[in-house]
Amino acid sequence: MQRRMLITAGLSVLTLGAGALGWRTWRRGPALPVPRQPVDAAALAATQTILEPPAGPLRCYHLGHSLVGRDMPAMLAQLAGHDYAAQIGWGTPLRAHWESRVPIHGLDTDSPRYRPAREALTQGGYDAVVLTEMVELRDAILWHASPHYLAKWAALARQGNPGVRLYLYETWHRLDDPDGWLTRLDTDLDRHWLAEVMAGALAWDAGGQIHLIPGGQVMAAVTRAAESGAIPGLSRREDLFARMPDGTQDPIHLNDLGNYVIALTHFATLYHRTPEGLPHLLVRADGSAMTPVDPAIAAALQHLVWQVVRAAPHTGVAV
């Protein structure tokens, strides 16, 4: 399956100055330097090399919010046999993780996997760092300078460990997005995740090489397969999403099956290996058993994830 081409039009980088209403209690956006060099598609592509598969388990750090969650990294660790730590908030932009003047809402400091991000990355104890931006992504870019803060976190991680592997985790928006959930997954990758966030981070010299974990692309592929009848036992996108305590549909957070799919996606990208044949009965972060996955469904999902990861741009995985 051939890796699809990155957009060929020239890419422009937003020069972000002072903004208006920001995240939570912030009222002004940050004053940022002008990028030191223009970024275009060729420059972005030039930074994206194929990585060598890791020789063994990676020490992994997750920085993000509830679309990372606690259960997905725990599932990934069981699949990979690796150790990990995390700093996870609620709807937290990379900017809020970096700046200290506003508390990170929902930060679970009681989790045994919590480790403050600055301490963790400065000390350089991790082989792979997965960075996650808030959604709505367009707001994150406009008000919270996503490219700039992605570059700052990347630079800090490299100061601690020059050989660290850095990843931007592509997520998704609400199922009821007015532009269409699948439409956003189809268009946002090139338009926003790559052309603005990743290319913008490259504009600052410290940004360096960052690869992609294509969570949104996998979610789109699984949805299309399920809704076309290609995965017996799954029939609609909501099968991947959680329910609220009152039984209504959660429009953005995943259930156990969805978290399993995203854990498979991280595994395939980080380890350059097909997830086919991996276990499908895992435990959550609190040690409770996840909702069982039918073996046939698990096998279909594992196969599909590998196809998507190999085809997606900028994963660092060989076609």
Residues in the chain: 319
**Sign of the alpha-carbon dihedral angle for 155, 156, 157, 160:** positive
Contact (Cβ atoms closer than 8 angstroms) between residue 144 and residue 23: yes
At how many degrees (to 10) do helices 215-227 and 256-271 cross?
130
3-state helix/strand/coil string of the chain: CCCCCCCCCCCCCCCCCCCCCCCCCCCCCCCCCCCCCCCCHHHHHHCCCCCCCCCCCCCEEEEECCCCCCHHHHHHHHHHCCCEEEEECCCCCHHHHHCCCCCCCCCCCCCCCECCHHHHHHHCCCCEEEECCCCCHHHHHHHHCHHHHHHHHHHHHHHHCCCCEEEEECCCCCCCCCCCHHHHHHHHHHHHHHHHHHHHHHHCCCCCCCEEECHHHHHHHHHHHHHCCCCCCCCCHHHHEEECCCCCEEEEEECHHHHHHHHHHHHHHHHCCCCCCCCCCCECCCCCECCCCCHHHHHHHHHHHHHHHHHCCCCCCCC
The Cα–Cα gap between 87 and 105 comes to: 11
Cα three-residue angle 202-318-121, rounded to 5 degrees: 45
Kindly give, in sequence order, each residue whose CB lies less than 8 Å from that of residue 263, ignoring residues fewer than 6 positions away.
72, 73, 75, 76, 79, 282
The Cα–Cα gap between 147 and 201 comes to: 4
Q: Is 286 part of a structural domain of the chain?
A: yes
In this prediction, residue 6 has a pLDDT band, given cuts at 50, 70 and 90, of very low
Percent of the chain, pLDDT > 90? 78
Per-chain mean pLDDT for the chain: 88
In this prediction, residue 2 has a pLDDT band, given cuts at 50, 70 and 90, of very low
Which tokens sit at 275? 């997830």
Predicted pLDDT at 43: 63
Predicted pLDDT at 11: 31
In this structure, which amino acid lies at residue 108? D
Q: Is 93 part of a structural domain of the chain?
A: yes
Percent of the chain, pLDDT > 70? 84
Which is more confident, 265 or 42?
265
pLDDT tens string 142-198: 999 999 999 999 999 999 999 999 999 999 999 999 999 999 999 999 999 999 999
Q: Is 181 part of a structural domain of the chain?
A: yes
Predicted pLDDT at 203: 78
Least confident range of 99-113, 167-181, 188-202, 258-272: 99-113
Q: Is 115 part of a structural domain of the chain?
A: yes
The Cα–Cα gap between 309 and 272 comes to: 9
Q: Is 23 part of a structural domain of the chain?
A: no
Which is more confident, 98 or 31?
98
Q: How many domains does the chain have?
A: 1
Kindly give, in sequence order, each residue whose CB lies less than 8 Å from that of residue 243, ignoring residues fewer than 6 positions away.
249, 250, 255
Q: Is 280 part of a structural domain of the chain?
A: yes
The CATH number of the domain holding residue 227 is 3.40.50.1110
Contact (Cβ atoms closer than 8 angstroms) between residue 168 and residue 198: yes
Q: Is 165 part of a structural domain of the chain?
A: yes
Q: Is 51 part of a structural domain of the chain?
A: no
List the domain range (segments joined by +) for residue 281.
57-311
